[in-house]
């Protein structure tokens, strides 16, 4: 039973009730994953829950929603952000609430991010009159490569916001530990498509051909020198070729070969430098083979860079809520990328990583078909956001 609105929200029963409700919602979202910009049902659930809680909300982009608490409070505005979308992954968990959609899955825990923000919103709503400034709740579509954050900013999500926080669950970090570092927390990323145009012919007569497979293989090997020899060891960067395609039969030298790869770096400027070095290696390799190079580069997300003041506040909240041992810095920055970066470029922000690793439990990283969000984070997020809202 929901208790009367006048009940002290600090009472354990009420807090537990909010957690239980959020867990139920999370499992429902998990069973019904939707991909980027198709989060129709998910968004309906979010809006229905905000309405149930008596929280004012408005659509912001087709499947995004912005909720507002204490809109008339005079202090500086603060925002909390959750992402909504799932991934094209075939679930292999056999959970009672596993995905009901073949080939789609909440393999990154955005179901948990959304449920956690709804739970925090429920808690904050009970103490709305104590909030010193407006609190904006951002439910964002299209985080998985869709630049959904940028669309929401263009649609006005950051109006009246002077600080923003968000989090990602992170299985490689122990449960009870949290990253709230100043500076880069997640990498900038981009992708390349490299096509070698050679000259095909009979495999027995290589002298009459220009072999694009050999040239492209050489590029895949040579490009690894960019990170090892051209980037300072203190600065993080990754170059990975993830797809390589060429040829149709054992006795044919094909006309072309192509590969795709990802580049990640700890600053957005360094990402551009590394991509230019990779392109130079590609052109040089093709030149040496007498092949014609075709290089396509697409920049994806900027680096997620935490503002010093926002990160300091987040770290203080982590210590108060999770204990003095909680702050964690090992393995940071994470070389995955995140479009929270767009929010943090506009207003001072801090993106936290909250650990979910458990001793003795095998690591299932985000995007694994066996991944599941750890519901034990929900009360942690409620307490963190409650603290950061100044309550």
Least distance to Ni ion, CB of residue 36, Å: 11
Please identify, using beta-carbon distances, which residue of 108 and 187 lies nearer to Ni ion. Answer: 108
Tell me the window of 97-105, 108-116, 216-224, 282-290 that interacts with Ni ion (CB under 5 A): 108-116
Least distance to Ni ion, CB of residue 85, Å: 9
Tell me the window of 63-71, 101-109, 184-192, 351-359 that interacts with Ni ion (CB under 5 A): 101-109
Please identify, using beta-carbon distances, which residue of 50 and 108 lies nearer to Ni ion. Answer: 108
Please identify, using beta-carbon distances, which residue of 108 and 274 lies nearer to Ni ion. Answer: 108
Least distance to Ni ion, CB of residue 89, Å: 12
Please identify, using beta-carbon distances, which residue of 25 and 108 lies nearer to Ni ion. Answer: 108
* Beta-strand pair 135-140/78-83: parallel
Structure tokens at 268: 């957005």
Please identify, using beta-carbon distances, which residue of 277 and 303 lies nearer to Ni ion. Answer: 303
Least distance to Ni ion, CB of residue 179, Å: 15
Q: Which residues contact 234 (CB under 8 A, 6 or more apart)?
A: none
Please identify, using beta-carbon distances, which residue of 192 and 351 lies nearer to Ni ion. Answer: 351
Q: At what angle do helices 40-52 and 110-126 cross, to 10 degrees?
A: 20
Q: Which of 272, 189, 186, 190 is nearest to 231 (CA)?
A: 272
Q: How far apart, in whole angstroms, are the C-alpha atoms of residue 153 and residue 140? A: 10
Least distance to Ni ion, CB of residue 108, Å: 3
Asked whether the CA dihedral 149, 151, 157, 163 is positive or negative, the reply is: positive
Query: Where do we find the tokens 């129709």?
Result: 40
CB 182 within 8 A of CB 311: yes
Please identify, using beta-carbon distances, which residue of 9 and 140 lies nearer to Ni ion. Answer: 140
CB 115 within 8 A of CB 178: no
Tell me the window of 100-108, 114-122, 133-141, 222-230 that interacts with Ni ion (CB under 5 A): 100-108
CB 140 within 8 A of CB 338: no
Tell me the per-residue interface mask from 51 to 90 with Ni ion, x by CB under 5 A, - otherwise. ----------------------------------------
Rg, C-alpha atoms of the chain? 24
Residue 337 in the binding site for Ni ion (CB under 5 A): no
Least distance to Ni ion, CB of residue 199, Å: 44
* Cα–Cα distance list, 151 to 62, 158, 210 (Å): 10, 11, 45
Tell me the window of 32-40, 106-114, 121-129, 302-310 that interacts with Ni ion (CB under 5 A): 106-114
Least distance to Ni ion, CB of residue 10, Å: 31
Structure tokens at 301: 């997300």
Q: Is the peptide bond before 287 cis (omega within 30 degrees of 0)?
A: no
Least distance to Ni ion, CB of residue 294, Å: 32
Phi-psi region at 176: left, alpha or beta (left = phi > 0; alpha = psi -120 to 50): left
Least distance to Ni ion, CB of residue 146, Å: 12
CB 383 within 8 A of CB 179: no
Q: Which of 271, 206, 217, 208 is nearest to 239 (CA)?
A: 271
Please identify, using beta-carbon distances, which residue of 84 and 389 lies nearer to Ni ion. Answer: 84
In the bound state, the residue with its beta carbon closest to Ni ion is 108
Please identify, using beta-carbon distances, which residue of 107 and 209 lies nearer to Ni ion. Answer: 107
Please identify, using beta-carbon distances, which residue of 108 and 321 lies nearer to Ni ion. Answer: 108
Least distance to Ni ion, CB of residue 169, Å: 8
Residue 108 in the binding site for Ni ion (CB under 5 A): yes
CB 101 within 8 A of CB 32: yes
Q: Which of 2, 29, 28, 30 is nearest to 15 (CA)?
A: 2
Tell me the window of 104-112, 205-213, 256-264, 309-317 that interacts with Ni ion (CB under 5 A): 104-112
Tell me which residues touch Ni ion (CB under 5 A).
108
């Amino acid at each position: 039973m929901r208790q009367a609105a006048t009940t002290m929200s600090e009472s354990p029963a009420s807090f537990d009730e909010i957690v239980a409700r959020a867990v139920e919602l999370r499992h429902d979202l998990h069973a019904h994953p939707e991909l980027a910009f198709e989060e129709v049902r998910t968004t309906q659930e979010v809006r229905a829950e905000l309405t149930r809680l008596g929280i004012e909300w408005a659509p912001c982009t087709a499947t995004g929603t912005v909720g507002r608490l204490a809109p008339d409070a005079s202090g500086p505005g603060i925002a909390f952000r959750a992402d909504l979308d799932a991934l094209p992954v075939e679930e292999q968990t056999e959970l009672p609430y596993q995905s009901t959609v073949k080939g789609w899955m909440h393999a990154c825990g955005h179901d948990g991010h959304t449920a956690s923000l709804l739970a925090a919103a429920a808690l904050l709503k009970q103490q709305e009159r104590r909030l010193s400034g407006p609190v904006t709740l951002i439910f964002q579509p299209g985080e998985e490569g869709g630049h959904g954050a940028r669309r929401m900013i263009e649609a006005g999500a950051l109006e009246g916001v002077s600080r923003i926080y968000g989090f990602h669950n992170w299985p490689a970090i122990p449960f009870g530990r949290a990253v709230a570092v100043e500076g880069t927390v997640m990498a900038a990323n981009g992708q390349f498509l490299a096509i070698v145009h050679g000259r095909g012919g009979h495999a027995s007569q290589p002298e009459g051909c220009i072999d694009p497979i050999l040239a492209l293989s050489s590029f895949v090997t040579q490009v690894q020198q960019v990170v090892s020899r051209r980037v300072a060891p203190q600065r993080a960067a990754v170059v990975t070729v993830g797809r390589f395609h060429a040829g149709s039969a054992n006795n044919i030298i094909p006309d072309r070969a192509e590969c795709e790869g990802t580049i990640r770096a700890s600053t957005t400027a360094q990402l551009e430098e590394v991509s230019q070095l990779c392109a130079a290696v590609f052109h040089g390799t093709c030149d040496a083979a007498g092949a014609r190079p075709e290089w396509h580069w697409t920049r994806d997300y900027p680096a997620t860079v935490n503002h010093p003041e926002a990160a300091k506040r987040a770290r203080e909240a982590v210590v108060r809520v999770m204990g003095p041992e909680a702050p964690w810095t090992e393995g940071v920055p994470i070389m995955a990328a995140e479009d929270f970066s767009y929010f943090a470029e506009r207003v001072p922000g801090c993106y936290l990583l909250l650990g979910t690793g458990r001793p003795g439990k095998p690591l299932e990283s985000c995007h694994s078909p066996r991944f599941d969000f750890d519901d034990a984070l929900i009360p942690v997020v409620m307490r963190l956001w409650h603290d950061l809202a100044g309550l």
